[in-house]
């Protein structure tokens, strides 16, 4: 970061920095904001906004912390024309959860904001599905109380090896409230300047599903989240960006 090369007395005069990231960084980029903490501690009047996008910065997910941008997902060819909802969901949550926990590492609350771009169609569709996931989480928790059932730890679920959250009630407990605050513009750290037109009615979700069995929840979760894709040319475009064409003979 360029400010790192400036003398400390000059850095004290900085008041606002906007970081517009237009491509995915390596080495777990969601954690890179921790490197800004010393600047904010030294200059509490500094305001930093980090602007990222689902397709430009979060996808595809990494494997064993190795950047796999130039590879087609799961060994498919480079003609893949969708992104998986479950992968997008986990990717966004990693960034948001890390931003919300920066204060635990010493970041002054007033100094940092994360803005997630919602201008492209794919991000908006993913965001709409995240809202669906949050309502399913609340509804399944209510169903568990109504039916006097509690979730088995995700670790022991037979589908854990394939999916991060095997059922809606395995989604982190603060997931629904966090996204509700973001969508209402009430979260002081994370912003999503997209559109939100669908009503948020977890009670209606519960009423429509209160007589379900666990298998019914699993089937809806699978069909609407785990194996659902959103159409996009993302992987094809990304593959072309990182392809190195062989030199032709002169």
Model pLDDT, residue 1:
59
Model pLDDT, residue 98:
96
Model pLDDT, residue 70:
52
Residue by residue, DSSP assigns 60-111 as: SPPBTTB--TTS-GGG--TT--EEEHHHHHHHHHHHHHHHHTGGGGT--GGG
- Beta-bridge partners for 82: 231
Whether 202 has a pLDDT exceeding 90, the answer reads no
Which whole number is the average pLDDT over 29-44? Answer: 93
pLDDT digits (tens, 9 = 90+) for 54-94: 888 888 776 554 555 555 555 544 556 888 888 889 899 99
Task: Report the alpha-carbon distance of residue 54 to residue 216 in Å, rounded.
Answer: 30
Write phi, then psi, for 132 (nearest 5 degrees): -60, -45
Q: Give the Cα-Cα-Cα angle 96, 208, 152 (nearest 5 degrees).
A: 55
pLDDT digits (tens, 9 = 90+) for 174-200: 999 999 999 888 898 999 987 666 678
Task: Report the alpha-carbon distance of residue 167 to residue 139 in Å, rounded.
Answer: 12
Q: DSSP assignment, residue 224?
A: I
Which whole number is the average pLDDT over 91-119? Answer: 94
* Residue 151, helix vs strand vs coil: coil
pLDDT digits (tens, 9 = 90+) for 216-249: 999 999 998 888 888 888 877 877 776 666 666 5
């Amino acid at each position: 970061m360029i400010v790192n090369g400036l003398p400390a007395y000059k850095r004290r005069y900085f008041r606002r920095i906007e970081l517009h990231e237009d491509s995915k960084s390596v080495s777990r980029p969601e954690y890179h904001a921790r490197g800004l903490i010393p600047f904010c501690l030294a200059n509490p009047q500094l305001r930093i906004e980090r602007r990222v996008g689902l397709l430009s910065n979060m996808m595809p997910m990494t494997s064993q912390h190795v950047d796999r941008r130039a590879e087609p997902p799961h060994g498919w060819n480079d003609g893949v024309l969708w992104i998986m909802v479950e992968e997008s969901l986990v990717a966004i949550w990693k960034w948001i959860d890390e931003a919300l926990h920066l204060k635990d590492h010493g970041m002054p609350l007033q100094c940092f904001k994360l803005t997630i771009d919602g201008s492209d169609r794919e991000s908006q569709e993913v965001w709409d599905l995240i809202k669906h996931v949050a309502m399913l989480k609340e509804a399944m928790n209510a169903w568990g109380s109504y039916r006097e059932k509690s979730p088995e730890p995700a670790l022991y679920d037979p589908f854990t090896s394939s999916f991060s959250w095997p059922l809606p009630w395995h989604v982190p407990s603060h997931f629904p409230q966090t996204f509700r605050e973001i969508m209402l513009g009430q979260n002081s750290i994370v912003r999503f300047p997209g559109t939100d037109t669908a009503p948020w009615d977890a009670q209606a979700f519960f009423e429509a599903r209160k007589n379900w069995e666990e298998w019914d929840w699993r089937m809806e979760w699978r069909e609407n989240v785990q194996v659902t894709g959103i159409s996009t040319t993302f992987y094809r475009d990304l593959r072309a960006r990182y392809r190195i064409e062989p030199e032709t003979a002169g």
